[in-house]
Amino acid sequence: MQNSIRRARQLVFVSVAAGLMSGCGLAYKPVGHTLNHYALDEVVPYALASDDLDQSACGTGMGLSRLVGSFSRVIDRPARLLIVTNTTASFCSEARAQKYHLLVQRNLYNGQTDVARDNRISAQRWERITALRRYQVYRDTVQAFGEIGGAQCSTVRDEIGTDQDALVYLTGLLVGVQGLLNDIQANSSVGVPQNIAAKAGPRLPLSG
């Protein structure tokens, strides 16, 4: 009798736990959509208006990229928002790369060739991280707006209730080209396609 009661309690516990877990799963999708909208509507403009560029760029990008990206497990990948967050995150790694590039120049000036070699390796490592982030920006741009350089123009429209689509699209193109340059600095270890510049160039405002 006691065994039957114990088993019944276990079944009830498992059923309740499963119900709670499924309820959480149902909540993830609206939370993901809400976070996506809020970040584009409020967080990004707030960060762009900040006087503290280091905190607004690095802090926003590094803080939101993984959180927002994780929602691609339950909703469509929020590519437009990830274009912005990975772009700002790439500023952090690029700043570190520049720091080591400057150290290399100082080391060579002081005749410290061994130290310069170590700092050059560190610079290339951060260039590679920057290239990875910026190549992901380019891929998210393709996912959000369509293939770049194809027969048809990419779709730039107010799809998610913001007026930032054109800015996000141009940012994705420009950052993709920058990622190619970062990859060259990293000895092409990422493998960013060389034709990115040819595809993006004619669509940038400065290309005439």
Average pLDDT of 111-123?
Answer: 97
User: What is each CA distance from 207 to 91, 135, 150, 172, 174, in whole angstroms?
Assistant: 24, 21, 17, 16, 11
The tokens for 99 are 């720091």
Counted domains in the chain: 1
19 pLDDT above the threshold of 70: no
Q: Are 71 and 36 in contact (CB under 8 A)?
A: yes
Number of residues assigned to the chain: 208
173 pLDDT above the threshold of 60: yes
pTM: 0.78
Average pLDDT of 167-172?
Answer: 87
Average pLDDT of 186-197?
Answer: 92
Query: So what's the pLDDT on residue 7?
Result: 47
The tokens for 152 are 């048809």
Average pLDDT, the chain: 79
Read off the pLDDT of residues 22-52 as tens digits, 9 standing for 90 and up: 445 567 777 777 777 777 777 777 777 777 7
Cα–Cα distance between 199 and 208 in angstroms, integer?
A: 14
140 pLDDT above the threshold of 60: yes
16 pLDDT above the threshold of 50: no
Q: Which domain holds residue 120?
A: 2-207
